[in-house]
């Protein structure tokens, strides 16, 4: 039986916003109920039967579902909101809060790292006027003022680059202390925890012991540990065990970002992987995962190259790629089905036909976007592996690709598990403006609406109320966010109002730049950023700081 709506006897008589007649899915996983929601300022003031109350603005939600705003567990928009504060592809799929900072967070940075980032900032005419994470967060809340809320992790890979560079070696005791001090500073400035991206340089060069020591500092400040684990393919079980070891040794809640079983040899293994999580939880480890609802992944084109090629940073890599003898070795390594020290995404994607160039930074290369490396190689008249290397050189490792490495039944198995939450693993995009120039993975545009339309409404793989729980209260609780993720008086007024009959994603791999449909209204901190399906001028997003934040 559905619960009755909470009493509204003590509700104010006047609201700034009143949402009436909706089917309220409150984020707990409980069945929806009919009711109204009254908002004063940036918070929910009342939930229940509020007929007769006055409001400056009324939203008629009859026939629609009203839920807490969706929380993107890996959003990647830390730079994007500086270039375009609308976060358009996010709010149009119902996202009101984004968690970001995978492996190499946007800050802290030193002058050397700032010089490396300069090309991207200059390309979008964004001033690079911060160095610490605290300075970045202040910039976001006082000047960028995005449409969405933003919380970030501090990336261990970025700290390694900050202190050591991109060299493949162990940190000295002195360097480890420097990295620990940077974690401590970031946590006090508002980071939610520590992150790693262990498949990529320079995170790849960190030992488990190094990660544990950094995670201990984050744990002391109430933080979490989130990881793009070291292997998502043949070594996935040892890789999970490493993540679980960090959870156990650092005594820190741990989550695996964008869980997958990658490459053909590992297809069908998702039930085994989920069982491995359950076993770890049964022995007392606080470990969970999130996923995006697609069977193709996305990352840098340079990740198709062997690890040794990427050692030492971009300039060192480009020098190797220009050496004819080393190029021949690289091509041989790209066809190795069983490399011992890296994830061979080129071979694992089925080679050139399974790698699609999704975006570039250099405008002169945009004619290749949306084509596979097999197609690009044919048009260039060269081996697709040479084409890949030449594109890495020409775009200075800024090019991104979509790779065919997963199978639908594994994606469905993870989506069906109530432990798993959702992340787009993509920065915000737009149909117009500076973020419309390049293409992207469709997950940037429709991860949450695809789940609602395909897996909830059409296929009934997930009950609506559980999907909303995993969009809202589950990630909020996981991130230590105590005033979002539920429809409750006193909580922040982040709301997503949608039509379940029409909600759907419209973005595809070859034609991605399309907003989702069916998201009728989105409120962030009580202000409408989407009204009647249209993006507004409101920019009410707030910075979400972690438990270790200290006001200075």
| pLDDT, block means (10 residues), the chain with 552 residues | 48 93 98 98 97 95 99 98 98 98 97 94 96 98 96 98 93 98 98 96 95 98 98 96 98 98 94 98 98 95 93 92 96 91 89 94 93 97 97 95 95 98 98 93 97 98 98 98 98 98 96 97 98 98 96 72
Beta-carbon contacts of 31 under 8 Å, excluding residues fewer than 6 positions away, are 1, 2, 3, 465
Strand partners, 48: 36
Beta-carbon contacts of 325 under 8 Å, excluding residues fewer than 6 positions away, are none
Strand partners, 507: none
Q: What phi and psi values does residue 134 have, to the nearest 5 degrees? A: -60, -40
**DSSP 3-state assignment of 389?**
helix
Domain assignments of the chain as residue spans, ordered by start: 1-95+126-152+423-538, 153-256+259-295+406-419, 299-403
Sequence-ordered strand ranges (E) for 360-493: 400-403, 420-422
Cis peptide before 202 (omega within 30 of 0): yes
Instruction: Supply the pLDDT for residue 3.
Output: 41
Alpha helices in 283-407 (DSSP H): 307-310, 314-321, 324-334, 345-348, 373-380, 384-394
Instruction: Supply the pLDDT for residue 8.
Output: 57
Let me know: does 486 contact 472? Beta carbons within 8 Å: yes
Q: Crossing angle, helix 173-189 and helix 156-163, to 10 degrees?
A: 130
Sequence-ordered strand ranges (E) for 375-516: 400-403, 420-422, 495-498
- Cα distances from 505 to residues 47, 87, 153, 378, in angstroms, run 30, 16, 28, 32
Let me know: does 75 contact 544? Beta carbons within 8 Å: no
Beta-carbon contacts of 56 under 8 Å, excluding residues fewer than 6 positions away, are 15, 16, 17
Element (DSSP H or E) covering residue 281: helix 270-282
**DSSP 3-state assignment of 520?**
strand
**Cα–Cα distance measured from residue 283 to residue 32, given in angstroms and rounded to the nearest whole number:** 34
- The sign one gets for the Cα dihedral 146, 148, 151, 157 is negative
**DSSP 3-state assignment of 204?**
helix
Which overall architecture, per CATH, does domain 1-95+126-152+423-538 show?
Roll (2.30)
Let me know: does 3 contact 24? Beta carbons within 8 Å: no
Instruction: Supply the pLDDT for residue 330.
Output: 97
Using alpha carbons, select from 22, 6, 124 the residue that is nearest to residue 68.
22
Instruction: Supply the pLDDT for residue 221.
Output: 98
**Cα–Cα distance measured from residue 185 to residue 181, given in angstroms and rounded to the nearest whole number:** 6
Length of the chain: 552
Strand partners, 289: 256, 420
Beta strand 519-524 with 193-197: parallel, antiparallel or unpaired? unpaired
Asked whether the whole model's pTM tops 0.75, one would answer yes
Beta-carbon contacts of 263 under 8 Å, excluding residues fewer than 6 positions away, are 233, 234, 348, 349, 405
**Cα–Cα distance measured from residue 90 to residue 444, given in angstroms and rounded to the nearest whole number:** 7
Using alpha carbons, select from 274, 270, 293 the residue that is nearest to residue 452.
293
Let me know: does 140 contact 543? Beta carbons within 8 Å: yes
Instruction: Supply the pLDDT for residue 9.
Output: 57
Number of other CB atoms surrounding residue 372 within 10 Å: 22
Instruction: Supply the pLDDT for residue 505.
Output: 98
**Cα–Cα distance measured from residue 190 to residue 543, given in angstroms and rounded to the nearest whole number:** 9
Using alpha carbons, select from 212, 133, 131, 132 the residue that is nearest to residue 171.
212
Number of other CB atoms surrounding residue 13 within 10 Å: 9
Pick the CATH number of 153-256+259-295+406-419 from 3.20.20.140, 3.30.70.260, 3.50.30.60, 3.40.50.2300: 3.20.20.140
**Cα–Cα distance measured from residue 397 to residue 238, given in angstroms and rounded to the nearest whole number:** 29
Asked if domains 1-95+126-152+423-538 and 153-256+259-295+406-419 share a fold, the reply is no
Let me know: does 545 contact 138? Beta carbons within 8 Å: no
């Amino acid at each position: 039986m559905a619960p009755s709506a909470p009493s509204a006897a003590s509700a104010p008589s006047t609201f700034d916003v009143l949402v009436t007649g909706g089917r309220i899915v409150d984020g707990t996983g409980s069945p929806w109920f009919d009711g109204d929601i009254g908002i004063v300022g940036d918070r929910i003031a009342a939930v229940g039967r509020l007929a007769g109350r006055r409001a400056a603005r009324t939203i008629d939600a009859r026939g629609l579902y009203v839920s807490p705003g969706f929380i993107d567990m890996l959003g990647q928009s830390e730079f994007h909101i500086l270039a375009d504060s609308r976060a358009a592809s996010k709010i149009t799929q119902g996202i009101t809060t984004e968690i970001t900072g995978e492996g190499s967070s946007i800050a802290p940075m030193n002058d050397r790292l700032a010089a490396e980032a300069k090309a991207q900032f200059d390309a979008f005419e964004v001033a690079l006027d911060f160095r610490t994470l605290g300075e970045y967060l202040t910039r976001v809340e006082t000047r960028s003022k995005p449409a969405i809320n933003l919380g970030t992790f501090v990336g261990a890979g970025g700290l390694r680059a900050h202190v050591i560079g991109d060299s493949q070696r162990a940190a000295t005791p002195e360097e480890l202390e420097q990295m620990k001090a940077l974690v401590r500073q970031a946590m006090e400035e508002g980071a939610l925890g520590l992150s790693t991206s262990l498949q990529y340089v320079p995170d790849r060069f960190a030992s488990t012991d190094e990660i544990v020591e950094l995670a201990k500092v984050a744990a002391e400040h109430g933080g979490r540990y989130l990881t793009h684990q070291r292997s998502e393919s043949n070594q996935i079980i040892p890789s999970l065990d490493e993540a679980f070891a960090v959870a156990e040794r650092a005594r820190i809640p741990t989550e695996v970002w964008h869980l997958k079983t990658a490459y053909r040899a590992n297809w069908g293994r998702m039930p085994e992987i989920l069982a491995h999580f359950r076993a770890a939880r049964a022995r007392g480890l606080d470990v969970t995962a999130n996923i995006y609802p697609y069977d193709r992944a996305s990352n840098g084109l340079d990740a198709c190259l062997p690890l040794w090629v990427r050692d030492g940073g971009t300039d060192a890599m480009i020098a190797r790629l220009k050496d004819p003898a080393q190029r021949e070795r690289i091509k041989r390594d790209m066809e190795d089905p069983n490399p011992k020290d890296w994830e061979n995404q080129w071979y694992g994607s089925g080679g050139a036909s399974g790698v699609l160039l999704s975006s570039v930074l250099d405008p002169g290369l945009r004619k290749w976007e949306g084509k596979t490396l097999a197609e690009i190689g044919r048009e260039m008249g060269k081996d697709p592996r040479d084409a890949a290397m030449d594109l890495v050189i020409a775009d200075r490792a800024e090019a991104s690709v979509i790779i065919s490495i997963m199978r639908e039944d594994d994606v469905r198995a993870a989506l069906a598990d109530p432990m798993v939450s959702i992340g787009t693993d993509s920065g915000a995009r737009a149909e117009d403006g500076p973020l419309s120039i390049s293409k992207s993975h469709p997950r940037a545009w429709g991860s949450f609406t695809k789940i609602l339309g395909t897996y909830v409404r059409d296929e009934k793989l997930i009950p609506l109320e559980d999907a909303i729980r995993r969009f809202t209260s589950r990630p909020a609780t996981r991130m230590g966010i105590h005033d979002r993720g539920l429809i409750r008086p006193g909580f922040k007024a982040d709301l997503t109002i949608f039509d379940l009959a029409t909600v759907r994603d419209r973005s595809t791999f070859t034609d991605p730049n399309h907003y989702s449909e069916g998201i009728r209204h989105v409120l962030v901190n009580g202000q409408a950023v989407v009204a009647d399906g249209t993006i507004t001028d409101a920019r009410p997003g707030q910075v979400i700081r972690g438990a270790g934040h200290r006001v200075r």
